[in-house]
């Protein structure tokens, strides 16, 4: 996988050098072209992990941006209106993540989203405690996190 990533970055820089325009859009386009070229070259090989993981990373990025914008709008609406709509609560969230890196990444993603904050991780690393500012339904929140954020994050990491 590292080999494909380095080759893809090399092709991206080559594209930028050939076009003569160093900007983000040109680099991303070069990365996409390089990804497609490498996929055409390696589609019959055994090492397809890179070609499966990159689309998952992009999907997770858009999922996280959507959650971030939604949470920011919810908090901003609550701040600018005269009534408070908060329903704070603390949830014991059962983890599917098993090692320290997975748990740390999940906690960072949760902490970056406005309206949520990780309070503690249990000693056996099976539960994290999350403070949620707008808690309407505990089970719905846990299901949304399990099926959305945690599942997508673990697909990338594992």
* pLDDT per position as a tens digit, 38-75: 898 887 766 778 888 899 999 999 999 999 999 999 99
The residues that bridge with 76 in the sheet, in sequence order, are none
Q: What own/partner pairs with CB < 8 Å and gap ≥ 24 does 29-33 have? A: none
Looking from the CA of 14 toward its CB, the CA atoms found within 13 Å total 10
| E-only strand ranges, the chain | 89-94, 116-121, 127-132
The Cα 152–Cα 140 span in angstroms is 17
- Above 90 in pLDDT, residue 23? yes
The residues that bridge with 129 in the sheet, in sequence order, are 92, 120
Q: What is the pLDDT of residue 83?
A: 86
Cβ within 8 Å of residue 151, ≥6 positions away: 96
Judge residue 142's burial from the number of C-beta atoms within 10 Å of its C-beta, 0-12 exposed, 13-18 middle, 19 or more buried. middle
The Cα 116–Cα 133 span in angstroms is 6
82-133 residue pLDDT tens: 888 899 999 999 999 999 999 999 999 999 999 999 999 999 999 999 999 9
Enter the pTM of the model.
0.81
In the chain, domain spans: 2-47, 50-157
Is 89 in a helix, a strand, or coil?
strand
- Above 80 in pLDDT, residue 14? yes
């Amino acid at each position: 996988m590292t080999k494909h990533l380095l080759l893809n970055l090399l092709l991206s820089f080559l594209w930028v050098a050939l076009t003569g325009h160093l900007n983000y859009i040109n680099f991303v386009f070069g990365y996409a072209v390089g990804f497609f070229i490498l996929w055409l070259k390696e589609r019959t090989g055994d090492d397809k992990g890179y070609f499966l993981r990159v689309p998952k990373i992009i999907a997770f990025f858009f999922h996280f941006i959507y959650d971030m914008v939604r949470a920011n709008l919810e908090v901003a609406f609550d701040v600018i209106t005269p009534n408070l709509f908060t329903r704070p609560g603390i949830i014991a969230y059962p983890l599917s993540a098993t090692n320290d890196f997975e748990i740390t990444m999940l906690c960072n993603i949760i902490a970056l989203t406005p309206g949520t904050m990780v309070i503690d991780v249990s000693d056996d690393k099976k539960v994290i405690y999350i403070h949620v500012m707008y808690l309407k339904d505990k089970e719905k929140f846990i299901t949304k996190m399990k099926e959305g954020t945690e599942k997508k994050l673990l697909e990338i990491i594992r």
